[in-house]
Amino acid sequence: MSGLSPEALALLQAEAHFRAAVPATAKRHLRISRKPLVIVPLGLAGEDGAVLALGMGRTREDLELLVCPEPRKWNLQTRLLRDFSSRLLRYLDRRAADREPAEVAPGWTKDVARRAPQIVAPTPAAATLLQRVAERMVWQRVDVGRPADPDMLRAGGWLWFFGERHELVESDSLLLVATDAQLLHFVPPISTAEAAHLLALNAALAPPPGSSAVAAARAVEHLTGSTLTTPEHDNRVLQPAIEAFNEASREGASRAALRPLGAAIETAVRPAVEALYAACHDALDRLRALEPIPPVRSGGRRTIAERHAFTRHADFLARDPRFARADSLRRGLFLVEDAVTEQVRVLREARWHDPLARAVASMTGDALDGKVRAVRETTVQLQRRVQRLELEVETPGPWRPVAGGQYELVWTETGFVFAVTHVRPTPGGASTRITLRSTDRVRDALAVLPQGLRTGSDVAFVLFQREFPGLALPDDEPWMLAGPSS
Amino acid sequence: MPDSALLARADEVSRRVVKASVEDGRPLLRVRAPPGAGKTRLTRQVMQAAIDANLPTLVVVQTNAQAIDLVRGMATLLATAGHRGRFGYWPSQEACQEYASEIDPLRTHPNVVVCRSTAEARSGPDVLVAVARKWAWHACARIPDQLLERDFDLGVIDEAYQMQTGELLRFGARADRLLMIGDPGQLEPFTTIETARWTGLDASAVAPAPRSVEARRGHEIQGFDLPASLRLDTRAVRVVQACFYPNLSFDAVALDGDRTLTLSRPGAGRRGPADRDIDAVLDRAASTGWGLLELPRAVTVRDDPEVAAAIAAVVHRLLEREPRVRRDYPAELRHGAPLRPDQIAVGTAHRDQRARVREAIDALGPQYQAVVVDTANRIQGREFDVTIVWHPLTGRVDATAFHLDTGRLCVLASRHRHACILVTRHGLRDLLEEHLPSGLRPRRATEDREHDGWEAHRRMLEMLAVHSIP
Amino acid sequence: MPFDEPQLAALRGELEPSANSARDLALTAQTPCLRRRALAIVGANPDSAAAVIGAESVHYGQSPFAIQIGERFERALTRDEFERLIEGLREQLGFPGDGIQVVDLDREIPFRFSGARKRGTEVDVARRRRERTDSMLVAILSGRDDAPAIVRHPRLTLAVTDSVRDVEPDLLVAWPGRGLPRLGEIKSYVDLRHRTDLSDLAKTRQQLAVYFLALERAVERLAVEGRLADGAAALASLRAEWPGDAGTRRPTIRAVTVLRRPQSMRPVVGIEDVRRDVELVQRGLTRTPATLVEILQGLPKGTRTLDTTTTIRALPTSYEPAWCLGNCPMAGACRDEAHRRNDPAFFGKMTRAVLAAAGDLDTAHALACGTRSPGEDPALRAFAERMRALRLRIDAARVAAGLPGAAGPVVS
């Protein structure tokens, strides 16, 4: 996941190749909670959604390690999942219960969770593993006389929400993936494929003194970097340990006899989990060092939106929720529209608050940075003669507007919309002169624009995209779309 | 002479569609139409029958431009025939702003009622035209007086394959019966977000609407295929059908010789090799309907100024050589007439390529302003006498699923009535030969847009190799 | 005369034979790398080649757990006369209720030799398996009642340009009495319906494509040998046609996939269309240089085996991190090479495409920073202009944001 265009990414990678990691942004575009819940899951190769070990904690020092000595046995796996569920629910229930009013949309105040939760996973594979775990918990195998574990159901329902939102909403901060979050803000001198290994990525971003980024990354690549322990480690340590445990189980060994065998498995996985856990915290610290854009600060738009989404899901879970294996058309529509709307907002905010994001966007005409060369009032003939504000802006290098696009002046919260009326490169092509005319009355314009906007001042614009208020979802599928798939 | 038997067959299919939808009241109809088959004409025929039958009909088009075209065409049709019936047009706010000069005259047209509010739409004429977004909006509006609580007997969707299922989900219940008309070979609806979550589902909110309907109600659909293209002639259909429509067979009404493009002034041998190549490709296109101009091999930026300059040079030289077009319809062209600049279009894959070409062409002079330059997305549905195409893979070292998308090339290569010239660089063949489609399609998938697009690209290049210059 | 197994072994020299030649050959549909292709054609285990050149793998390697579950799944399917597999075929593919004949070549003509009761040399066993497969194919294609419905590990011969080698698909499946043989692969990754891993599916289809080429060849040969009543019909029966719209027919090659139901050892049986994959594999295998003769001609003079560092390194590669790091044991060497040579491919396909006009990272960076002139070449000028504009904007933004300054000249 990168906010950079392929061109910008390539440019910065070329730079990083000869120096070291370089920044991709000037600010932080993700919310970082003060004490997020870091979850480091380890799976078992070839198994699907099986959890061998799971480390979780809120601070660097407090890592709790849950281990399942034989994740392929459902009764043993459920023990781990139950432990996991109770801890996860403790974290989430507290937040869901603690509510306060907030303005979730202009003019609409609602009671929502006071603090938005945050789960941090090391890599995309870890996030996917958590999604698969969610599914297992939500669709538990229920036997006669053993009903579904309600805690597991709820915990699964929560993980489902986090996973789904992460899949669809750009720059989602409810579920943070340490590798992707860093790649959004930094360009390391390694490929994206290599950067999927969290330890390698961290090493490339902050190599120890005396080592190059690439060498530092190589040095840790042989360690567990995502959700699977390495084949070498499996062959040498893990598999024998699990085999020993299984054999003893099969021969009916007592719990006391099994305990040291289980402990051996724990010893086999602990270093990997600890390393990834520490790496997650390193990533968080690195991100915390960046100045956040306002929407992701406490009280910012995205933070409130996340609190709102979180609260909505809490209420959904309280109402006997159902989880389908494939989205219905209705649900799909809801998810798409939400995601598209949020994407528009996120792009705008990124460009609004981050000059580096604007620099990249200006190559496609989606943003503009320059100096004011002239400010004047002008008269325009529409249905009658009206006054408009006109700005002449000069930007270095070539620039072309989006066809038919309008631009918001980056100034106050809600900007001011201008239309581009003239674009001409200066002789020699060293810069471009653009004339922009406001689409609102001069009186209003001048009232809002502070005295700062004068010839010589720096000015910035982002592409204006009108937002349409949300529509209600249809109650049912219409007749031509109802019925089973063929 | 045009293939009148084919035309008759096509008319027969249209007639049957009109009968099935309006008279017989068949519930679920789908018409597949190749490029230039006369989709909009069919829509007008259905509308006329519905007006005559006083049948409440909801007519859906995809873009404001298409809405204006349909409404104006319908209005003219009715007025010319002296018809007294009226139909409604419900434009969106943006349309009223952007197309004010086209919409205002309609407000006083005797056959058109331009609705300005939901109330007017509710109580308006039986047959009502609006864009999909507008129907979706008013079917699901939260504000009570924006909610269109009106049901229609028949819903007609034009360009149905360009509409997302989500839109149909919103307004579908407003129609008791449905007629979907569209071209399955062109670009599919476009979303900016990752849709991998729904890839492989046969019905999803982002899939083209007819596909979801087919998945849910396939066995109930009565299908029709328009057998003819009225825009493309046999020379064009030969290539377009073979490359992009393996599942839809169709022929051209305009047979060999019906469409001519003559360059009154000959190619002048005086100039350099590049200019000679341009003359040669124009001659080729004039005589065979296709041309392929291959610039020297190079790896370049996407908006390669050399390609843009070459395209501008082709346009320039084309008009310099006093081109004349002759075709059977409209009557004024039966004996030929000069090719007008606004009947020439350049198609590109990317906006920045469009901008480069626009700049290069505008620099040629004010008489070239009328030449249309646009991306595949925006040129879809339009037609011209001559098109010049910036081949999507030009100057690249590899091909991606986006560039191989079969719909994009199909749109670009099927806009023309007389001739189409593709401009690219040498090395395209090698690029395609070396490409390995990823094969990343879901379980039980019958479609693979990347692979099929790759095959289509290769086939097209193969078929056009004979027209390649140099 | 095509190279046969002993000749291939001679070419391999000290290199270990491939564990699964079909899987290796299938990757010609995934990567253009000539080194991997040559090794696949010779039937050499790439791990062995990696050991020779001292390369390190990065994310490549199979975990014992993955191997274990593969074995467990196969055992579960074939236990009790293939009970679970048959149940899956019945439920999901409409196989008939009874009268399913199963032939398990692993049991009938095993490769294991037990002590004194020597069942024959490896070559002999291979031949007997091939012959048995042939006669079963004849029975199936003739629609005979005694034809088996399921054959485990049939043995077919694949021709790869100028070499031949044996391959053993997991299954040959045929609806009783219908004479339509279909290949099948058993895979232990889970079936998640439309969310089943796309990459796993692609690889499975590509392997089935390789097997299909061998099946086609077998049927051709049987027809030539006169063992089939109607050779053309038999060949045609290997392919099928989906009914398309408006009376069109879409050609298809159907193959059976046996995937695993999540959290169980039960199968999910399905049909996949591998027509496109067959075309790709065919092209991949015949792409020049394709023949062993051509490959050997490209090697250092006097080379007769592929088991030395010199010869392996002489085979050109095509590095692409997204594929190579996880799929090739020699990826580490290619990665180092790409890094050393400032190859944009080091950063992946997308960056390689963007910077291709510049050729290498050095030139790209220098052109962007303005420390090198693009000269007269128009492609390079256009590239430099664009990159320079972006570079200037980014540098200005960095300054405005107080970030460490502009990019400088190339630092070697």
C contacts of A14 (beta carbons < 8 Å): 344, 355, 361, 364-365, 368
Cis, bond preceding A23 (omega within 30 deg of 0): no
A226 touches chain C (CB under 8 A): no
Listed by number, the residues of chain C in 191-220 with a beta carbon closer than 8 Å to a beta carbon of chain A are 193-194
Euclidean distance between CA atoms C52 and C12, whole angstroms: 12
pLDDT band for B414, please (50, 70, 90 cuts): very high
Tell me the pairing of strands A108-113 and A99-105: antiparallel
Which of A336, A348, A363 should one mutate to test binding to chain B, selecting the residue with the greatest count of B CBs within 10 A?
A: A336
- Asked if A280 and A425 sit in the same domain, the reply is no
- Asked if A252 and A130 sit in the same domain, the reply is yes
- Report the candidate in C372, C376, C383, C354 with the shortest Cα–Cα distance to residue C408: C372
Please check whether residue A482 lies inside any domain of the structure: no
Domain ranges of chain C: 5-61+286-344, 64-284, 355-400
DSSP state letter for A39: E
- pLDDT at B233 (0 to 100): 95
C251 touches chain B (CB under 8 A): no
Q: Give the ipTM.
A: 0.94
Structure confidence by residue, pLDDT tens digits, B224-282: 999 999 999 999 999 999 999 988 999 999 998 889 999 998 877 667 888 899 999 99
Across chain A, what does the average pLDDT equal? 92
Residue that finishes a domain, picked among A274, A298, A323: A323
Kindly report the number of other CB atoms within 10 A of residue B286's CB atom: 21
Listed by number, the residues of chain C in 190-219 with a beta carbon closer than 8 Å to a beta carbon of chain B are 191, 193-196, 198-199, 201-202, 205-206
Euclidean distance between CA atoms A470 and A186, whole angstroms: 35
Cis, bond preceding B330 (omega within 30 deg of 0): yes
Q: A254: phi > 0 → left, psi -120 to 50 → alpha, else beta; which?
A: beta
Given a contact cutoff of 8 angstroms between Cβ atoms, the answer to whether C383 and C374 are in contact is yes
A324 touches chain C (CB under 8 A): no
> A111-125, A460-474, B431-445: which has the minimum mean pLDDT?
A460-474
Are A483 and B216 in contact (CB < 8 Å)? Answer: yes
- Provide the shortest C-alpha distance from residue C91 to chain B (in Å): 17
The amino acid that residue A470 corresponds to is: G
- Report the candidate in C351, B216, B79, B312 with the shortest Cα–Cα distance to residue A478: B216
As a whole number of Å, the CA-based R_g of chain B is: 23
Please check whether residue A472 lies inside any domain of the structure: no
Structure confidence by residue, pLDDT tens digits, A292-303: 999 999 999 999
- Asked if A313 and A412 sit in the same domain, the reply is no
Kindly report the number of other CB atoms within 10 A of residue A219's CB atom: 15
Going A228 to A234 to A238 to A240, the CA torsion angle's sign is positive
C374 by Cβ neighbours in 10 Å (0-12 / 13-18 / 19+) ranks as: buried
Count of domains forming chain A: 2
- Tell me how far CA of residue A220 lies from CA of A187, A199, A274, A293, in angstroms: 19, 6, 14, 33
- Provide the shortest C-alpha distance from residue C334 to chain A (in Å): 13
Length of chain C: 412
Please check whether residue A353 lies inside any domain of the structure: no
A431 by Cβ neighbours in 10 Å (0-12 / 13-18 / 19+) ranks as: middle
Please check whether residue A486 lies inside any domain of the structure: no
- Asked if A298 and A385 sit in the same domain, the reply is no
pLDDT at A414 over 50: yes
- Chain B positions contacting chain C at CB under 8 Å are 32, 198-201, 223, 225, 246-249, 298-301, 303-306, 395-398, 400, 434, 436-446, 448, 451
Tell me the pairing of strands B372-375 and B344-348: parallel
- Asked if A305 and A414 sit in the same domain, the reply is no
CA angle (B94, B99, B105) in 5-degree steps: 125
Kindly report the number of other CB atoms within 10 A of residue A442's CB atom: 16
Please check whether residue A218 lies inside any domain of the structure: yes
Residue owning tokens 């010049």: B388
Nearest CA in chain A to B353: A364
A147 by Cβ neighbours in 10 Å (0-12 / 13-18 / 19+) ranks as: exposed
> A323-327, B465-469, C74-78, C119-123: which has the minimum mean pLDDT?
C119-123
> A199-203, A401-405, B8-12: which has the minimum mean pLDDT?
A401-405
- Asked if A239 and A116 sit in the same domain, the reply is yes
Given a contact cutoff of 8 angstroms between Cβ atoms, the answer to whether A160 and A135 are in contact is yes
- Asked if A129 and A37 sit in the same domain, the reply is yes
- Report the candidate in A465, A472, A327, A326 with the shortest Cα–Cα distance to residue A404: A465
Structure confidence by residue, pLDDT tens digits, B356-403: 999 999 999 999 999 999 999 989 889 999 999 999 999 999 999 999
- Asked if A317 and A403 sit in the same domain, the reply is no
Q: What's the gap between Cα A470 and its chain centre?
A: 23
Please check whether residue A352 lies inside any domain of the structure: no
- Tell me how far CA of residue B281 lies from CA of B219, B275, B423, C358, in angstroms: 48, 10, 10, 31
Euclidean distance between CA atoms C274 and A440, whole angstroms: 60
Are C379 and B306 in contact (CB < 8 Å)? Answer: yes
- Asked if A127 and A222 sit in the same domain, the reply is yes
Q: B400: phi > 0 → left, psi -120 to 50 → alpha, else beta; which?
A: beta
Structure confidence by residue, pLDDT tens digits, C198-250: 999 999 999 999 999 999 999 999 999 999 999 999 999 999 876 665 556 78
Q: Which of C199, C244, C356 sits opposite B397 (nearest CB)?
A: C356
Nearest CA in chain B to A466: B94
- Report the candidate in B164, B114, B118 with the shortest Cα–Cα distance to residue B140: B118
* Chains in contact with A, counting 3 or more C-beta pairs less than 8 Å apart as contact: B, C
- pLDDT at C289 (0 to 100): 63
- pLDDT at C99 (0 to 100): 81
Please check whether residue A478 lies inside any domain of the structure: no
Euclidean distance between CA atoms B379 and A407, whole angstroms: 25
pLDDT at A441 over 70: no
DSSP character string of C292-303: HHHHHHTSPTT-
Task: Please report which helix (H) or strand (E) contains residue C334, including its range.
Answer: helix C331-340
* Chains in contact with B, counting 3 or more C-beta pairs less than 8 Å apart as contact: A, C
Size of interface A-B (CB pairs under 8 A): 111
| Max CA distance (Å), chain C | 84
Tell me the pairing of strands B87-89 and B127-131: parallel
- Tell me how far CA of residue A442 lies from CA of A123, A435, A462, C314, in angstroms: 51, 16, 20, 72
Strands (E), C191-235: none
Backbone angles phi, psi at A175, to 5 degrees: -115, 110
Query: A87 lies in which domain range?
Result: 6-323
Are C58 and A141 in contact (CB < 8 Å)? Answer: no
Euclidean distance between CA atoms A227 and A219, whole angstroms: 19
C273 touches chain B (CB under 8 A): yes
**A386: helix, coil or strand?**
strand
Percent of chain B at pLDDT exceeding 70: 100
Q: Which tokens is B293 given?
A: 């101009």
Size of interface A-C (CB pairs under 8 A): 168
- Report the candidate in A16, B365, B292, B353 with the shortest Cα–Cα distance to residue C382: B353
Structure confidence by residue, pLDDT tens digits, A145-202: 778 889 999 999 999 999 999 999 978 999 999 999 999 999 999 999 999 999 999 9
Nearest CA in chain C to B301: C383
Kindly report the number of other CB atoms within 10 A of residue A269's CB atom: 24
C306 touches chain A (CB under 8 A): no
Please check whether residue A88 lies inside any domain of the structure: yes
**C42: helix, coil or strand?**
helix
- pLDDT at C412 (0 to 100): 43
Are B300 and C379 in contact (CB < 8 Å)? Answer: yes
Q: Which of B28, B205, B215 sits opposite A486 (nearest CB)?
A: B215
A167 touches chain C (CB under 8 A): no
- Chain A positions contacting chain B at CB under 8 Å are 167-168, 170, 326-327, 329-330, 332-333, 335-337, 339-340, 343, 364, 400, 402-403, 469-474, 476-486
Nearest CA in chain C to A353: C401
pTM of the model: 0.94
Q: Write the CB contacts of C181 (distance below 8 Å, at least 6 apart in sequence).
A: C137, C140, C141, C172, C173, C174, C215, C237, C238
pLDDT band for C115, please (50, 70, 90 cuts): low
- Report the candidate in B353, B364, B376, B365 with the shortest Cα–Cα distance to residue B306: B353
- Asked if A19 and A151 sit in the same domain, the reply is yes
- Asked if A287 and A383 sit in the same domain, the reply is no
- Asked if A375 and A236 sit in the same domain, the reply is no
- Tell me how far CA of residue B261 lies from CA of A351, B269, B332, in angstroms: 49, 21, 15
Given a contact cutoff of 8 angstroms between Cβ atoms, the answer to whether B306 and B299 are in contact is no
Are B436 and C280 in contact (CB < 8 Å)? Answer: yes
- pLDDT at C274 (0 to 100): 97
Q: Which of A14, A74, A234 sits opposite C65 (nearest CB)?
A: A234
Q: Which tokens is B406 given?
A: 């079969």
Euclidean distance between CA atoms C411 and B422, whole angstroms: 43
The amino acid that residue B121 corresponds to is: A
pLDDT band for A485, please (50, 70, 90 cuts): low
